Structures are given as C-alpha cells and as structure tokens.
Structure 1
C-alpha cells in the first residue's frame, strides 16, 4: 500500500473522528466529597480525596470510625465523615477511606509496586507521607515528619531509580527525595534558586510547577513563565529555555496546564521530547479579582521541543480562553483539554464563566486545525476539579468547589460532589468496526526493558495493518489542573502479520531504559486507524 493511500486513510479516519464530538454520562450524583485529587491504580480503582479542614463531608466513615484532630480549625468536635474514597470503575461503586490528617493541595505518584505515595498537605499534614496499596480492604497508612519541610502546593515526579522528587510548595524554594538514600538527603532539602527567581511576591505564581522527566534523564521544570532543564543528580541547571511568549504566568494560581507530548522513535539514537502548555491567567489577574475585575483567561497554547539545542516556542490559539483546565493524554496521542473558566484565576471565588465544552487537541494535526470542539457538559467544573483517563478510554471528571467550605446554595457555582464520564469521539459506535481488541498478552503481564514481546489483536471490520500502533501510558496523579507523571510512549512494532480476516499478530519493543519509562504499571493500548483498544495493564521492569 503506497504512502499516499495510507495518508489518505489516516486523514479520513481523523476527519470522521472530528465529526463525532463525544458524549457525557452522569455516573454518580454524589460521591460525598469533592474530587480535588485523583489517581488511577492498577486494579482499575480511583483514589479520590479532598481536604479535611472545612468541616463535615457528605460521606460517613464505616463502623463508627471517627477522627479527632486537635489542630482542626473548623470543627471543635469529632469528625466521623470521610474525606477520601476508593471508586471502582467497573462496578461504579465507592467505599469511604480513612485519612487522619489534612491532605489539602498535596501531591503524589504511584511507584514500582503500584502503591500511591502521597506527600504533604496543610497544617498537621504538611510534612506527612501517606501510602495506599491496591487491595480489597486497604486504607491509608501515614508516616509522621517524613518530609524535611512543609509541602503545600508542591509537585512530585517519579524517577528512573524508583524514587520520587518533591519540588517546591508554598514558600519552599527547594526540593527533596523520597525515600532518601544517603545521609546528605536526611540533613536538609536542596535549594533550587529557580524557584526564588520565579516567585512573585504576594501571588507566588510558581506553585505546582510543571515537571517532566526528559529523555536525557534530566527534569524539565516550568514555573511562572520560565523553564529550565535540571540535573537533579548533580544539583545543577543544565540549560535555561526562552521565556514563554507573552511572559504571562501559567502555573498556580494563574493555572494553565501542561503535557509532555507523546514520545516516539524510542530506538533512535536521540529521542525528541516536546512540551505543550495551554491556558492560564494574565499577569495581574489574581490581584484584580478583589476589585471586581475578572480578566479574560489566556487562549494561547505554547509548544517547545525541549531536546532541541535551539529550542523556541511556537504559539497557537484555542477556541476560547481557559484557566484551571486539565489536559488529559488520550491513548491515541490526542489531548483532551477539559474543565475550567474563561475569566479570572484560581482560588476561592476568583473565576467566572465556566467553560463547559472540552476541546480535543490533535497532536499530529496541522497548525491552525489542531483544535476540535467537543460536546458540552451541563456541570461547571471550576476550582478544585479533576479529570483522569481510565482503562476503557473514557475520561472521568469530578470536583469543583470554589468556596472555602462546602456550599450548595445561594452561590454562582455550588460545590459539586458528582462524578461523570466523558466518552471521546473514538468510543462512538460508528467506529466499532475499527476498534481493536487485545487478545495477547494478558493483563498485568511483566515486560522487560528493550525485550520484545508478542501481541495479538482482533478487529471486527476491515484491518489495515499499516495503520496499527501501540502506546503505553503512565496514569498520572491529577490535581489543580496538572497531571503529575503523565507520560505516553509510542512503541516500536515489527511487521504486522495478518492471521485471519480480522486478526493479526506482531512483535513490540518496549522502551530500552527506565529513563524513558520509569519502572511501574502502565496502560498498554493498540491504536488502529486512530481508534484505540481498551487498555491492559503491564508492569515494566
């Protein structure tokens, strides 16, 4: 089949996909808490949690379990309500979890064995490390004073050696590791001058910095309007990137969002890595809200090839401005931009005019035609909203609480406890004949770095072997419009051998090192003519 015909087929599938703009489904009218933080685990369950210091939630702890926190600032009594839960995607059910200290505006990541490691929070939770291991009856385990300093609004990233780095936080211009492996790391955190340099007094604008593991093993760190490449192993800045065009801040509370675009050609001598940052609030927006002025959110997306020695930003415009939106990597490499507002900034009651329509960003589309508007939800998702991809290809969306406490009436944007699902275009029934199904390997298979493994797939309709690809996604920790550790890799595949009218098999080469894919559980998808399969879990080691 000629290259021209392949391109025409792919264009046709993309065009058809663009004509289907997704569907919404309400899953739960109330899960009892605001979904401020969320992580998908390898048992297809979501760990969801909110702060603990606002009063009672709408979800009761089981078996008479209660917490009594002497440092509680709202309640002067025992709290027998839950502020965390486990949601089972398959059964659409949930169970309350018991978290004892305040996890407000914290961070986290999953590690090699699938455990969620959560760091920091507020007040009595600011130096805590908590863990949650997937099992039927597991609950949170908490460790006191495990962090060297207070971590509130910090960012975590999972590293190739199986540890995590925790960067920044409110008035914390430093970083540390967990677990710690030498005496120096137990002494004090490492100072990161870049966080001083990007600090706006009174606003900060460098909280929840965007952090990505580059293909050379260094960290790309973006805060406020600037970015560096940081060698965390030697504590040095390797390079400084140009300021984002316009110079407006993009990190909290000016809250845009960012993704590392799909990593491709993983066996090439030098792998390219590209970052996309979208939306945010103009400089000064935070200060103007108390005066009743809500500035228009930024409508720009800026893209930079961070591996290019002469890296520069290229800018495109979204269909509308967005602040506090989430960027969710889809299995086929597209990006879903969802949630947020058109006016104002992040913070209590500091935004107006919710954006109800998601947007699909076609990563491989042409400049000027990459954005595709999607069907609108009926539920505003403002401050403290979340969105996360699950294994069947849907994106689960929850949260929204722009208020200091739970407030359900006499406000423009009431606290929202619902959970809904957005089904992107590729789940439309019209694409069923193109949708592949993985028949080999089985879920939770172990994969070794660089060691080929065999895959088998089925397709209900016409199979085009030349338009088959395989992707591998690290499910992220999502909060405050940033998905920490989100990472999609396009794997190399061998010749696709057709074994029947609708079946084929081929060899897949996983990433060759932990620098490309740190060791943990990933979702593996097959994509056929832009339409992804349901994923399976694999563990790379």
Structure 2
C-alpha cells in the first residue's frame, strides 16, 4: 500500500474520531445518553470499596492511593488484623477499627485497607521525584501533619505520619512540585501564606503572600488555589477571579494577569477547575496556556446554604501566559458545571467529568448532577472543541474525584455531600463505588492504528538526551500524526488535579525495525522547569489514538 493510500485511510479514521467534536448548547437534564464507542463507555469496577474516594493519586507501581476523612464515622471496610485507630481528638469516633484509606491495584482490580491516624479531610499532595507521595494537612488533628506513602513490592507498606511538621494549618491548600524537588504548599483556610516541603533550614517558617488575602471572599474563601509550574520556573497562581505570575524564590509577584471575564469566582466553594495545556517542545519557543472552566456565581454558596440553588457557570477561559500581553479567550461548555474534574488525556485533549449544574461545593449545596463527561480538543476550531460523552448512572457530587490510569481510562470514585456517611433517605447518598470511563480512543474501531510500546524497549529518559521507543502498529502508520508524550499523574481532590502536566517531546526521527514495528527517537525534556524529575507515564500517540502508557523515570 502506498503512503498516499495509507494517509487517505488514516485521515478517514481520524476524521471519524473527530466527528463528535461539535458545539452544543443543552441543559444537563436534556443531555443524551449514548452507547456507541464514539461517546465512550462506563464500567463499574466495585459497588463498594468501603470509603468515599475524596482524594486520589496514581503511583508508579500502577496502584492508586485513595482516602476520605477520619471524622465521617465508621467506614464500610475494616482495618486488617484487628487494628484500630485511637484518637481522642476525633469529633465523631474516638475508637475506630475501620479504614479511611485504601490502596487500589489496577491490574488485579483489588484493594486493601490502609491506616490513616489523623484527619485527612480536604488535604493536598504531591509525588516526589523518588515516587513517594507526600500528603499535607487536613482538618482538626491532621491540619499540621505530613504523611508519606512509598510504593512497595509487598502488601505491608502503609502511611507514615509526621505530626506538627507544617508551620501553619493547611486545610484546603494546594501543592506543586518544583524544579528543585521541593514541594510548595500554598494557602488554606484563612492562610494567606505558603511554605515548603521539606523544610528549609534557613527559613523553616511560612512566607506571607498578600495576593491570597486580597482575593478572599466575604467568608475568607479562595481555597484550593490553582497552581501551575510554568516553563520559566515561576508559578501561575489563580484565586477566585485573579491570577499572578509568582517568583517564589524572591517572594515577588512578577506580573498580574487580567481578571477572568465575567467576574465570577472559580475556586472553592465555587469550585471550577483548571489545567495547564500540553507543553510542546517541537515549537521554536514553548508556549504555556492555562485553561479554567466552570464554577459558580458570586453569592451562590450563601444562597445554596439557604436552600436556593442557582445555575453554575458554563464558561471556560484560556490564557496564554507566555504572550507579552496575554488576554483571556472565552468559550462556552455544552452545559454549566461546578465541581467538575479536568483531567488531561494522553492525546492532549481534556476530559471534564463529575459535578453539578446547580449550587456549589459544600454539604448539601449542590443539585442537578451532570452525568455526562465532556471532552475538549484544544487544537480544534472554535465552536467545534467540545464533545458530549456517555452518561454515568451515578451522580458524582461534592467530594468526588478522578484520575488517569496507564491504559488511558479515567478512574472515578467518591461523592458524599453530607457531614457523615449517609446511604439512605437523602437525595444524593454517600457513594463508595468505583467505576471507570473509557474515552472514545479506546474503541475497537481504532485497533488498526493503535500503537503499542514493546515491553523493555524504552530507554532511559534524561534531560536533553535522545530517547528511543520501540512500538508496534497493527496495520497503518503515518509519521505526520505521530507524537510521544509524558504525563505526570495528578493528586486529585475537590475539582483540582495538582501537579498535572503533559510534555510533548521533540521528535527526532522514526525508523522501521521490522514489519509493523518502529523505533521513534525523541529528545528528553530540556529543563526541570518544563518537567521536574520523577516518574511519568509515556505514551505514543498516533492520529489521536494513544498507546497504553509505560512508566519512565526522568532525571
């Protein structure tokens, strides 16, 4: 078959994959339910994992740490070996023999309970370069605590806790892994400051950030600010309606960006979401573009607490922060959404999943669940970027979460808009199930062009060095639509996926190894500012169809 024939065939397949990228204006009540592969499909993994998955983190051993909070009451899964948690400061249960954290094994679809001693409610986290999850703060006796979880090859690893490690109370804070391996921990309830993990010997205390004080609402809220590490090493920080370029090394605001149009808040409890769109090293100069979607109008939280639920926000804004004079470019989602999770897909698209059409985050403050995810294609033409996906049967409201797993599916769990576990007599019962959404690119119709990385044939990923990846394509290959990408798994909670980033690596060339087997050479990320050292999922993407991911360590 000639190259032109292959390209015609491939183009038709790619065109089919993008037919659904059209722009619709519909209410959440009237969103259609689809069953074909073009709208993806849902699969229930477990009716009960024992806890409501408020927080999620994928680890380098293909296991996912999940946890909720210790003061919900007794969970539906017991701690192993007769263990119990003794906590005189707990507001609900002083002696608790049930678990509030689990470790889920993706490959075997099994899980085991973990022991969390102090309260992890509304906490934050990051994975260090060695693969250890560092989880920070929480509520009550957990608000100054640092906890770590390191993957292991047996079933004995568990949480380690370090009381009073944090200088200030970190409840509803956000984290970001930095180029030098530290983690910056920003904000929290009535905390207008930041600190670092590990502690800095020369400055072990907090550092004031007036921007957080300036952007708080009447209830002192600008919680879970959106943090993104930019290619110049500075931080993008977004709180409610305002955003800045922040030099944390000098404790200086380098630039303030224009306010997002509309004047409506986007952070908790208004709870929109945000992503840093893929950084592409094939471009002459790397562009960094932030996207913020959804949220709730000003005053919506107070009204929801009084039983009046108003429509959430339908707009998304994109801001190319590397422009000399950046301005927000606004567009509308197919349906308004608050408490939606924005997760990067391996092909560079963004899925917006979970959430509600009315109200805000908070206990009993959300209504009208949005059951259909939508997928956003950043490179499509305006008004053709959103696609409506198949609906879940389970409302995922306040305290739900989602994360990308190596095979390209989206793991979804949680939802508990109540002060305690509450399974009966309420409109939205506590949900302790675990399900998974398969995007359209996993449909069987793309098997002929789906790449698969040959096990054991991925080299070492180093900064600025060539990397070779051997992969197979069952039938047709077009180099023109081939890319190699790395994705850092996120710590996801409360509608924000912390530390999430994707880098499209610079293509150097493709060679034919044998029939339907190829070797692609790419250049490792140029700097730690573009991709901090650590473990990443590497994907080969062909015509918008990703391979299953493999783990690589960047150093």
**TM-score for the superposition, normalised by structure 1:** 0.96
Q: Is the 8 A contact 1:205 1:254 kept in 2?
A: no
1:15 equivalent in structure 2: 18
Distance 1:295 1:432 in 2: 44
Give the one of 96, 100, 106 matched to 1:83: 100
2:24 equivalent in structure 1: none
Q: Which runs of 5+ in 1 are unaligned?
A: none
Give the one of 174, 184, 188 matched to 1:169: 188
Give the one of 534, 546, 550 matched to 1:532: 546
Name the stretch that deviates more: 18-27 or 364-373: 18-27
**1:134 pairs with 2:151:** yes
Deviation at 1:93, TM superposition (A): 0.2
Q: What are the Cα deviations for residues 114-162 of structure 1, in whole angstroms up to 9, with x where unaligned?
A: 0000000001000000000001220000011110010000000000000
Helix, strand or coil for the counterpart of 1:253?
A: coil
Helix, strand or coil for the counterpart of 2:279?
A: coil
Give the one of 384, 393, 414 matched to 2:408: 393
> How many residues end up aligned between the 2 structures?
534
Q: Which runs of 5+ in 2 are unaligned?
A: 22-36
1:111 equivalent in structure 2: 128
Name the stretch that deviates more: 313-322 or 291-300: 291-300
Alignment of 1:409-428 (within 5 A): 409-428=424-443
Alignment of 1:206-217 (within 5 A): 206-217=222-233
Deviation at 1:440, TM superposition (A): 6.0
Distance 2:362 2:307 in 1: 14
Q: Is the 8 A contact 1:440 1:455 kept in 2?
A: no
**1:120 pairs with 2:137:** yes
Deviation at 1:246, TM superposition (A): 0.3
1:376 equivalent in structure 2: 391
**CA shift in 2, pair 1:13/1:463, >3 Å:** farther
Q: Is the 8 A contact 1:64 1:80 kept in 2?
A: yes
Q: Is the 8 A contact 1:10 1:467 kept in 2?
A: no
2:258 equivalent in structure 1: 242
Distance 2:12 2:225 in 1: 40
Q: Is the 8 A contact 2:10 2:543 kept in 1?
A: no
Helix, strand or coil for the counterpart of 1:286?
A: helix
**CA shift in 2, pair 1:10/1:431, >3 Å:** closer
Give the one of 200, 221, 225 matched to 2:241: 225
**CA shift in 2, pair 1:438/1:124, >3 Å:** same
**1:70 pairs with 2:70:** no
**CA shift in 2, pair 1:205/1:62, >3 Å:** same
Distance 1:192 1:305 in 2: 24
1:147 equivalent in structure 2: 166
Alignment of 1:267-416 (within 5 A): 268=284, 270-416=285-431
Helix, strand or coil for the counterpart of 2:518?
A: strand
Deviation at 1:501, TM superposition (A): 3.5
Helix, strand or coil for the counterpart of 2:255?
A: strand
Helix, strand or coil for the counterpart of 1:525?
A: strand
Distance 2:63 2:460 in 1: 20
Deviation at 1:330, TM superposition (A): 0.3
Distance 2:509 2:282 in 1: 17
Name the stretch that deviates more: 107-116 or 11-20: 11-20
1:470 equivalent in structure 2: 484
Distance 2:394 2:176 in 1: 31
Deviation at 1:498, TM superposition (A): 2.5
Distance 1:342 1:205 in 2: 21
Distance 1:91 1:17 in 2: 33
Q: Is the 8 A contact 2:173 2:185 kept in 1?
A: yes
Deviation at 1:503, TM superposition (A): 1.7
Distance 1:8 1:58 in 2: 50
